[in-house]
A and B are shown apart, each in its own frame.
Chain A
Amino acid sequence: MIEVVSVNKTFGKQQVLFAVSATFLPGKVNLIIGQSGQGKSVLAKCMVGLHEVDSGSILFNGRDFTAMEKSEKSEIRQEIGMLFQGSALFDSMTVEENVKFPLSMFTKMTKKEMQMRVDFCLERVNLSGRNGLYPSECSGGMQKRVGIARAISMNPKYLFCDEPNSGLDPKTAIVIDSLIKDITYEYGITTMVITHDMNSVMEIGDSVLFIHQGKKWWEGDRHSIISTENPEINAFVFASEFMKEIKESLKGQKR
């Protein structure tokens, strides 16, 4: 479980996060949604410590991450897997070396054990046999999957995904989404996914946090997001005319 308690974050004069509090539960896919530039990525980066918060705290299973020394943070970080918006694969390493990297850095596994773990993770993301490719030789969707394989190689307790399916076709996006969902349920991971994609919200959103103007604007699950009357949510969810029509027809059915 991750608890965010009243986090404020400013860059220079611009305040980006305003007293955001939230709870992310284990074994669930917790979504953060919101329009562009509202502070989603900043929130995620604050949670993993890539940005320092101005005030407030982040608790990982009750342990206050924000108050820790760098060495203690390093311990927690070994329990975190993160998939970056741009995949952030190490481009001087092959697919296999990318996935193996955290294992060789932090575990005492033998070569054989590492190889088994790497093959398992690649298999899990449907990339068996692609071990020798370099990131530049992979398609965008493959890079995302390698990113997931690398993020789960250490059996993380917490998984962060920043827009895992941006820039992918709808079908590949669903593959990535269900992969994240399956992994989360299978291993009871506390998963946090930032997304713009309403498909993802409906597919995998166990709980949904809507960030607007740097504040927690709304919280709920994928069912209540359709029926809520919150105007900002509606503007986000039913952005297109097509979706507005669907909403109207849903209302009609209910009556």
Chain B
Amino acid sequence: MNYIRNIGAYFLMLGWVFRKPRKISIFWRMLMHEVQHIGINSIPIVALMSTFIGAVISLQTASNMDSPLLPAYTVGYITQSSIILEFSPTIISLILAGKVGSNIASEIGTMRITEQIDALEIMGVNSLNYLVFPKVIAAIAYFPVLVIFSMFLGMLGGFAALVISGLQSPETYILGLRSWFDVYNVYYALTKTVAFGFIIVSISSFYGYYVKGGSLDVGKASTKSVVVSSVVILIFNFIITKLMLL
């Protein structure tokens, strides 16, 4: 029962979020701030994760490829496709659900319990539009950038691991990366990413915005938003994959 009510409230919230901002200049300033917050500040963790996991994927693949029937460049191909199809869009989004989602929920939740949201409403500002819309746009615009960056670094990590450890020549690895490369897969990955970005920002905003009580409840809301958005991401990962790849 509670779930159904929450889902209803969530969609009502979205109705208030997607309005034309009252002042474009203020919206623009908020957007730049959010791009900084959601996008730029996430670069280090995305870079670190992607490089190392890319390296590990390629090493694991190489260690499993000892059949002489398989050409050596299969390693590059498998690395490429696991990074593009799943690691960069899904795993990075789950990481960002933890980082960005908890951040948004606690920021908005704190504004709620310190009556800053009431102060906005009193002034006649649509607080959901003012606070959440720029975050949604920033996430939709910037998550794909982060994910493309992650794909690139993941493959680079694989390159470094294989070539530096002398397991493969650069040419073989790159040949593998370019084999059966399908732009549609990138398109599929970025579609997922946009959906996940939207899920993370809207769900964590929802839990922050409707927080009741004190700072303890803000902490709970923040945890809850990470859990719920992660689960929803996994569900939509399945649905989108079914729709787009099969």
Interface of A toward B, CB cutoff 8 Å:
45, 48-50, 73-78, 80, 82, 84-86, 88-91, 101-102, 104-106, 154
Interface of B toward A, CB cutoff 8 Å:
22-23, 25-26, 114-116, 118-119, 121-126
Chain B contacts for A90, CB-based, 8 A: 116, 119
A135 to chain B, nearest CB (A): 10
**Are B118 and A78 in touch, CB under 8 angstroms?**
no
Chain A contacts for B25, CB-based, 8 A: 104
**Are A78 and B124 in touch, CB under 8 angstroms?**
yes
- Report Cα–Cα, A85/B113, bound state, in Å: 12
**Are A77 and B124 in touch, CB under 8 angstroms?**
yes
**Are B115 and A86 in touch, CB under 8 angstroms?**
yes
**Are B116 and A88 in touch, CB under 8 angstroms?**
yes
- Report Cα–Cα, A224/B98, bound state, in Å: 60
- Report Cα–Cα, A74/B26, bound state, in Å: 18
Using CB atoms, name the residue of chain B closest to A162.
B115
A29 to chain B, nearest CB (A): 19
**Are A105 and B26 in touch, CB under 8 angstroms?**
yes
List 28 contacting pairs A-B, 8 Å CB cutoff, sorted by A.
Answer: A48-B122, A50-B121, A74-B124, A75-B124, A76-B124, A77-B121, A77-B123, A80-B122, A84-B118, A84-B119, A85-B115, A88-B114, A88-B115, A88-B116, A88-B118, A89-B119, A90-B116, A90-B119, A91-B114, A101-B123, A102-B123, A104-B23, A104-B25, A104-B26, A105-B123, A106-B123, A106-B124, A154-B123
**Are A84 and B26 in touch, CB under 8 angstroms?**
no
- Report Cα–Cα, A150/B26, bound state, in Å: 18
- Report Cα–Cα, A122/B117, bound state, in Å: 23
B193 to chain A, nearest CB (A): 28
- Report Cα–Cα, A89/B117, bound state, in Å: 10
Using CB atoms, name the residue of chain A closest to B21.
A105
**Are A82 and B116 in touch, CB under 8 angstroms?**
no
Using CB atoms, name the residue of chain B closest to A50.
B118
Using CB atoms, name the residue of chain B closest to A102.
B123
A68 to chain B, nearest CB (A): 12
**Are A105 and B122 in touch, CB under 8 angstroms?**
no
Closest 9 CB pairs of A and B: A77-B124, A74-B124, A88-B115, A88-B119, A82-B122, A78-B124, A84-B115, A102-B123, A88-B116
Chain A contacts for B124, CB-based, 8 A: 73-78, 106
Using CB atoms, name the residue of chain B closest to A77.
B124
A189 to chain B, nearest CB (A): 15
A16 to chain B, nearest CB (A): 16
- Report Cα–Cα, A78/B118, bound state, in Å: 14
B85 to chain A, nearest CB (A): 38
- Report Cα–Cα, A45/B118, bound state, in Å: 10
- Report Cα–Cα, A49/B26, bound state, in Å: 25
**Are B26 and A78 in touch, CB under 8 angstroms?**
no
Using CB atoms, name the residue of chain B closest to A74.
B124
B19 to chain A, nearest CB (A): 10
Chain A contacts for B22, CB-based, 8 A: 105-106
**Are A91 and B121 in touch, CB under 8 angstroms?**
no
- Report Cα–Cα, A81/B126, bound state, in Å: 16
Chain B contacts for A50, CB-based, 8 A: 118, 121-122
Q: Which of A74, A75, A80, A91 contacts B116 (CB 8 A)?
A: A91
**Are B123 and A78 in touch, CB under 8 angstroms?**
yes
**Are B116 and A77 in touch, CB under 8 angstroms?**
no
Given contacts A73-B124, A105-B125, A106-B124, contact A82 B23 (CB under 8 A): no
Using CB atoms, name the residue of chain B closest to A76.
B124
Chain B contacts for A104, CB-based, 8 A: 23, 25-26
- Report Cα–Cα, A75/B125, bound state, in Å: 10
- Report Cα–Cα, A80/B159, bound state, in Å: 62
Chain A contacts for B119, CB-based, 8 A: 82, 84, 88-90
